[in-house]
Structure 1
Amino acid sequence: MGSEREGHEASDRRLRVAHVVQYLSVGGIERMVERMALAGPEHGLEVEVVAYLEDGPLRALLEARGVAVHLLPTSPGLSPRLPLRLARLLRRRRIDVVHSHHLGPFLYGGVAARLAGAAHVHTEHSVEFYDAPRRRAIGRAMSSLARVVCVAPEIARWRREQLGSDDLVIQNGVAVPPLDARARAAARDALGIGADRFVVGCVARLSAEKDHATLVDAFAALVASCPRAHLVLVGDGDRRGAIEERIRTAGLESKVSVLGRRLDTEAILPAFDVGALASVREGLPLSLLEVMATGAPVVATAVGGVPALLAEAGGVVVPPGDPAALGRALQLYADDADRRARDGAAARTLVQARYSDTEMNRRYAALYRQVARPARR
């Protein structure tokens, strides 16, 4: 009877969850962590965030909303001391569940969780980082000590075949904003883009795996036949200089807006007629789901969970590294407003039904309670 009561109390208390990430920037993983942290109290959770490589704007956003954020400055490369420092923090903050994101946090967060007596949940956002035998060995070893969640069935299948891991799938979720014609006009006014422009938008880190070069080349072909086209790039990264030079070389400066890192993405998305993503590697991109949630269709490359996502709703899938195919898909939507509206409506309906952040947060909260250990005394 006593153990039954203790179990009931442990299940009812507010669990303390710590998300472990590398950066406090505003990339896809970090935006997902932000949403989960802010939604925590609705699900009986006290959520904190720990980063160890780089500070960033996410810290101020979270702290302003009452979320505790911790930075454990660490140099890049293997750090044997980091798990010990992290474990001390976990014990001090009485963390019940560690939730890691990315390969480094998988290792460090997992070891620290064991040392601190906390449960460990890990979300696998993609498998691109398992390109070396040592990394696969780390993934295989850590998977035996954690409950691994994959953001797409394709990732779970790869891990089962390559690492022998039996993982849970919880697909990414995003907020679905109300449809508001005024939001579109306001977004375009703020960006200085006319109401008659055909706007292609891309929200992605400016890094090699996102392959903005292919997108810029595809857009150049689109402009040749659709002079009213305009490209909006939201994001920053180490490829920004090269992408801006490519835009200048193509003579597209007046037709491309490179906005850099933005914290108000939700205010920009309504400006898009179509979303585009030219990545060579992906899991289940939050940025695509966010565009779809506004009622715009998307064109994206056949990587990760993208083909399965777009097979369920409007959208066009093209081969990676093929600017001609990407340009043709964009042209399709530029020429056919009816298809654009039809596919956009289907995309929004799908996100509402299967990819809402409400359902994602509910499932993670249930998982935390399933894996959490009895309350510490």
Structure 2
Amino acid sequence: MCMSHSPRVVHVIHSGAVGGGPRVVLSLATGVPGEHVIAAPADGPLLADAQREGVDTARLPRGGKYSFPVSAPSLRAAVATADIVHVHGQFAGFYAGVIARTCRKRVVYTAHFPSFVTDSGPRNRIRNRLVEATSCAAAQVTVACSQTMREEYIRRRLTKSHDIVTIYNGVPEQHATVPVERVRDDLGVGLEEQVILGLGRFTDQKGFDVLLEAMRIVLCRAPQAVLTLAGDGERRQALEDRARRLEIYSSVRFAGFRRDTADLMNIAAVVAVPSRYEVFPLVALEAMMAGRALVATDLPVLREAITGGEQGFLVPLDPGALADGLIRLLEDADLRRLMGTAGRRRAQARFGEDRMAGEYATLYERVLEPA
């Protein structure tokens, strides 16, 4: 297939809710040359955000991982005029990828959150392997968001090494638009207090329960510290209850879901990423791009983003270890600045949104080359 025009790419994702996958979808639809359509349920802000950016959308009937069979007619209609169907996530890959191949479309599968990351029990492992293997088989190319995940796909024999590439997620350079004093006032944070910032969904994965335990230790050495948790989710009430039991609730701000990430980064002394597992977290990249030092869990995927001791500290998921890293940065402004500057340089060089868009544009060209 030789293209004499910009490709028409239909992006399919199982949910338009807040998260890293939908954000990458919107970045590609607005940043990669060509015509783009986003097909997703209206269960979150993705479709509305896309429409505001002038991106065409196709609404799928229902949201959720297991709703794609109901959406089959809508998916067939959405992919009918596509040159490339870009499926995001394994359930989009499993259903939409197969539909696209039966329609003789070129398929790219991006594994935003591989299902084997959370394997639990033999039944789930069998199901997850089937879903991942089918998603990879339906695609001309599978994209892993980290080298760690690429190697894991190959090790598990879900795809072959020449059929999977690594493209790191990218984030834009954002700038604060609201004065520091107003942001602090909105959060109930004093001008002399040092903000430890945590961003993300309130789920077990993100490790905010351990961060609260660490915060109790931090306050013994740095009573001026305030933990701001921006996000929402199923564990919010449990986290608030834990903060009360630990008697640190007055030093924690539950800010809810917010879009003003740059303004929050601007008031942060340190950003914490205490995840139990990740694929390639955008919040770490955003912190680096904003010039903020990090304390993050020592996960293989985070080692690809952060060089421990240079852009921040990589520590075990342990309250004491997290607290030690946070205290060290809170007590040393020069070290915070040094690590923040190193993080910004690394993010600009390796994890920019334009770099990601360029690599996907090159990949689309490759996929459309005659066999």
| Superposition pairs of residues 18-33 of structure 1, within 5 angstroms | 18-33=10-25
Q: How many residues align?
A: 358
CA distance in 1, matches of 2:358, 2:130: 32
User: How far off its partner does 1:304 sit?
Assistant: 4.2
CA distance in 1, matches of 2:37, 2:172: 21
Q: Name the counterpart of 1:176.
A: 173
Structure 1 alignment gaps of length 5 or more? 1-5
CA distance in 2, matches of 1:319, 1:244: 23
User: How far off its partner does 1:60 sit?
Assistant: 1.9
State the AA in 2 paired with 1:297.
Answer: A
| Superposition pairs of residues 1-377 of structure 1, within 5 angstroms | 7=2, 10=3, 12-40=4-32, 43=33, 45-52=34-41, 55-74=43-62, 76=64, 77=66, 79-91=68-80, 94-129=81-116, 131=119, 132-146=125-139, 147-165=141-159, 166=161, 167-177=164-174, 184-311=180-307, 313-320=310-317, 322-372=318-368
Moved more, 327-336 or 128-137: 128-137
User: How far off its partner does 1:22 sit?
Assistant: 1.9
State the AA in 1 paired with 2:48.
Answer: A
State the AA in 1 paired with 2:45.
Answer: P
User: How far off its partner does 1:152 sit?
Assistant: 0.8
User: How far off its partner does 1:252 sit?
Assistant: 2.4
The DSSP-based 3-state class of the residue aligned with 1:273 is: strand
CA contact (8 A) 1:302 1:319 kept: yes
CA contact (8 A) 1:103 1:129 kept: no
State the AA in 2 paired with 1:371.
Answer: V
Per-residue Cα deviation, 1:61-86 (whole angstroms, up to 9, x for no partner): 22122112222123753653434431
Give the 3 Å change call, closer, same or farther, for CA 55–39 of structure 1 in structure 2: same
Give the 3 Å change call, closer, same or farther, for CA 75–362 of structure 1 in structure 2: closer
State the AA in 2 paired with 1:318.
Answer: V
User: How far off its partner does 1:279 sit?
Assistant: 1.1
TM-score in terms of structure 1 length: 0.88
User: How far off its partner does 1:352 sit?
Assistant: 0.6
Q: Name the counterpart of 1:3.
A: none
User: How far off its partner does 1:305 sit?
Assistant: 0.9
Per-residue Cα deviation, 1:293-350 (whole angstroms, up to 9, x for no partner): 1110111112241023212742111123x11111111111111111111111100110
Q: Name the counterpart of 2:122.
A: none
Moved more, 341-350 or 158-167: 158-167
Per-residue Cα deviation, 1:125-152 (whole angstroms, up to 9, x for no partner): 2435452122112212331231111111
Moved more, 101-110 or 342-351: 101-110
TM-score in terms of structure 2 length: 0.90
CA distance in 1, matches of 2:28, 2:183: 26
CA distance in 1, matches of 2:300, 2:61: 32
RMSD of the TM alignment (CA)?
Answer: 2.2
Structure 2 alignment gaps of length 5 or more? 120-124
CA contact (8 A) 2:10 2:78 kept: no
CA distance in 2, matches of 1:63, 1:351: 28
